[in-house]
């Protein structure tokens, strides 16, 4: 029983997806139509990208890039700009989850090297800024987060169209982050005593993962079939470093599968189908935004996509919906867990700063949406 309770605590969204799928199977018994529920393209590309990102992380690409950039920092403000920008821009290619998993622990280490006053005053706001940066930077590309990858695949939008749809919001978010940094940090000179450079990254593994990432991009662009991409990545990882396969987030893939089954079954129940469509119709953005606050934006995307064809508003609603509550974007929990582990006395402070910052950013971005969202 303890193990089951712990599983629910650690994998709440996955457990919810499994329960909903199982409950829906009672109403709609399994048959051959179940095979059409699951979007194998999204699952295969997600698996491929997660494996490749784990490969990059294993050989130290992200941490060493951060170290080299920080060696150029001459002030507290420049340190914050670098740390936040790393999360913002890297999240566009390596997903918001990977960006936070990589750079938040790195940030805690960096602040341990600063003077005590700066560390106690700015660590929590900086991690909140990084979390916002990862969630808001990731919305600009199909690769940035799981819901974007899925919606990009079913929306019919070109890559340029997709980026232009989110670009104003990403630009506003970055400007707001830089303003916050300018206000929060002074320009006083400071130094970070980084450890000695660990040497160069092994060329062969780096080249392999770069090529695999290119293969993933071809699959996202629909040039290469997703099954071929998954097979290439799987074979390459088995040859180079099979331990990477143990670190792939299979719970996310199972979560997708569970929600696909639930959505597929709900779509076959006429009363449920009609009711949900009546709520969503014409209110896709607000429905997605509100649902994200309660069940987080990835499940909200999977649930609502089965009942509307207005993917543009779903993209905006779920991406902007990543702001707000702590669970609006599951990636936000990564930062919270890191702070809770490393600085347990700061959990309450972090929650207050996180919530206040998310409300402010959400209000600004909603203001932009209601100004240009329907143009």
pLDDT digits (tens, 9 = 90+) for 52-111: 988 988 888 887 887 777 777 778 888 899 999 999 999 999 889 888 988 888 888 888
Region 237-251: mean pLDDT is: 91
Q: Is residue 199 pLDDT above 60, yes or no?
A: no
| pLDDT attached to residue 94 | 86
| pLDDT attached to residue 321 | 95
Q: Is there a contact between 199 and 127 (Cβ–Cβ < 8 Å)? A: no
pTM: 0.82
pLDDT band at 188 (very low <50, low <70, confident <90, very high): low
CA distance 124 to 142: 29
Q: Is residue 154 pLDDT above 70, yes or no?
A: yes
Q: Is residue 44 pLDDT above 90, yes or no?
A: yes
Higher per-residue confidence, 375 vs 300: 300
Q: Is residue 366 pLDDT above 90, yes or no?
A: yes
Q: Is residue 191 pLDDT above 60, yes or no?
A: no
Residues 273-285 as b/e (b if ≥16 CB within 10 A, e otherwise) read: eeebeeebeebbb
| pLDDT attached to residue 195 | 57
Q: Is residue 253 pLDDT above 60, yes or no?
A: yes
| pLDDT attached to residue 373 | 60
- What is the overall mean pLDDT for the chain? 87
SS3 category, 75: strand
Q: Is residue 148 pLDDT above 90, yes or no?
A: yes
pLDDT band at 245 (very low <50, low <70, confident <90, very high): very high
Ranges 9-23, 157-171, 188-202, 341-355, most confident: 157-171
Torsion of CA 335, 339, 342, 348, to 10 degrees: -170
Distances in Å between the Cα of 256 and the Cα atoms of 34, 43, 97, 150, 314 are 14, 7, 16, 10, 17
Region 33-43: mean pLDDT is: 87
């Amino acid at each position: 029983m303890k193990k089951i309770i712990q599983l629910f605590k650690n994998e709440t969204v996955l457990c919810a997806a499994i329960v909903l799928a199982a409950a829906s199977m009672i109403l709609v018994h399994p048959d051959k139509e179940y095979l059409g529920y699951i979007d194998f393209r999204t699952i295969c590309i997600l698996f491929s990208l997660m494996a490749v990102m784990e490969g990059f992380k294993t050989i130290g690409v992200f941490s060493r890039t951060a170290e080299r950039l920080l060696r150029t920092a001459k002030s507290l403000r420049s340190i914050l700009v670098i740390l936040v920008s790393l999360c913002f821009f890297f999240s566009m290619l390596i997903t918001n989850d990977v960006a936070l998993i990589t750079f938040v622990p790195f940030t805690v280490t960096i602040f341990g090297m600063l003077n005590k006053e700066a560390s106690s005053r700015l660590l929590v706001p900086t991690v909140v800024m990084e979390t916002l940066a990862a969630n808001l930077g990731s919305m600009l590309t199909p690769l940035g987060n799981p819901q974007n990858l899925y919606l990009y695949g079913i929306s019919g939008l070109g890559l340029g169209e997709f980026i232009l749809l989110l670009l104003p919001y990403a630009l506003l978010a970055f400007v707001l982050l830089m303003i916050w940094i300018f206000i929060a940090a002074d320009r006083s000179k400071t130094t970070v005593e980084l450890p000695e450079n660990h040497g160069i990254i092994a060329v062969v593994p780096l080249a392999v993962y770069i090529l695999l990432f290119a293969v993933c991009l071809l699959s996202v662009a629909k040039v290469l079939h997703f099954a071929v991409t998954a097979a290439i990545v799987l074979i390459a990882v088995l040859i180079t470093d099979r331990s990477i396969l143990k670190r792939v987030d299979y719970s996310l893939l199972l979560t997708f599968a569970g929600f696909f089954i639930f959505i597929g079954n709900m779509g076959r129940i006429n009363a449920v189908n009609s009711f949900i469509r009546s709520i969503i119709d014409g209110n896709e953005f607000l429905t997605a935004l509100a649902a994200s606050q309660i069940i987080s934006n990835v499940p909200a995307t999977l649930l609502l996509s089965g009942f509307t064809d207005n993917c543009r508003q779903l993209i905006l609603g779920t991406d902007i919906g990543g702001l707000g509550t702590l669970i609006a974007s599951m990636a936000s929990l990564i930062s919270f867990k890191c702070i809770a582990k490393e600085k347990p006395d700061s959990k309450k402070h972090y929650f207050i700063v996180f919530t206040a910052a998310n409300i402010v950013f959400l209000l600004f971005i909603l203001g932009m949406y209601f100004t240009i969202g329907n143009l």
